[in-house]
Amino acid sequence: MNIIMMMLFMTILNSFHSCTLNSYLNLEMVEFTLHQLFVACLSQVMKKSKAMGIHIINEVMEHIMTETLYGDSLRLQQVLVDFLLICINFMPTGGQVVVAASLTKDQLGKSVHLANLEISITHDGVGVPETLLNQMFRRDRQESEEGISLLISRKLLKRMNGDVQYLREAGKSSFILIVELAAS
């Protein structure tokens, strides 16, 4: 990024930090399925993953993929793409990313359910550097492009009554995304 663009980006970021997403962001409420969401996400990361020889494996069960959900699918897509790209960037060539999901529904009314969606994105390798994770959780004031994107994605998840966790295991790591949606 050139210096002028970086200065503009930092100015926008500072104003972003000083306000809350709640006061400036209205979430959309549209009907979608996880199948539609994942197709859109994978189309955005496929070129990079293929170039690095990384396989993306979908382990989401069919009945979850076809469940009708209501929420801000575009912002959820933005968040998923961001976490997928971070995983791809910090894993060895030839590795794999596994996407899995679980969905639980609580009855709210006669035909409305609260859907708690948990998506795990597991990737090979040593994982995302601790400095980026610290930026995502605001434990580190140092800012990088990737750290800022993780921070914004986390804020979007929180705006959707969700959050993110990062787990490390031997040889693999996972982002666990949790979001609250409506379902029929």
> How many of the other CB atoms lie within 10 Å of CB of 38?
19
**Rg, Å, the chain Cα set:** 17
Query: How far is Cα 69 from Cα 117, in angstroms, rounded to an integer?
Result: 10
User: pLDDT tens, 78-118?
Assistant: 999 999 999 999 998 999 999 999 999 998 878 888 999 99
Predicted local confidence at residue 1, as pLDDT: 46
CA distances from 179 to 106, 146, 149, 156, 176 (A): 14, 21, 18, 10, 10
Q: Is 107 strand, coil or helix?
A: strand
pTM as predicted: 0.84
Question: 2 pLDDT band (50/70/90 cuts)?
Answer: very low
Show the CA angle centred on residue 132, arms to residues 82 and 135, nearest 5°: 100
Architecture field, domain 28-183: 2-Layer Sandwich (3.30)
Which of the 8 DSSP states describes residue 162? -
Which token pair is 78?
A: 């933005």
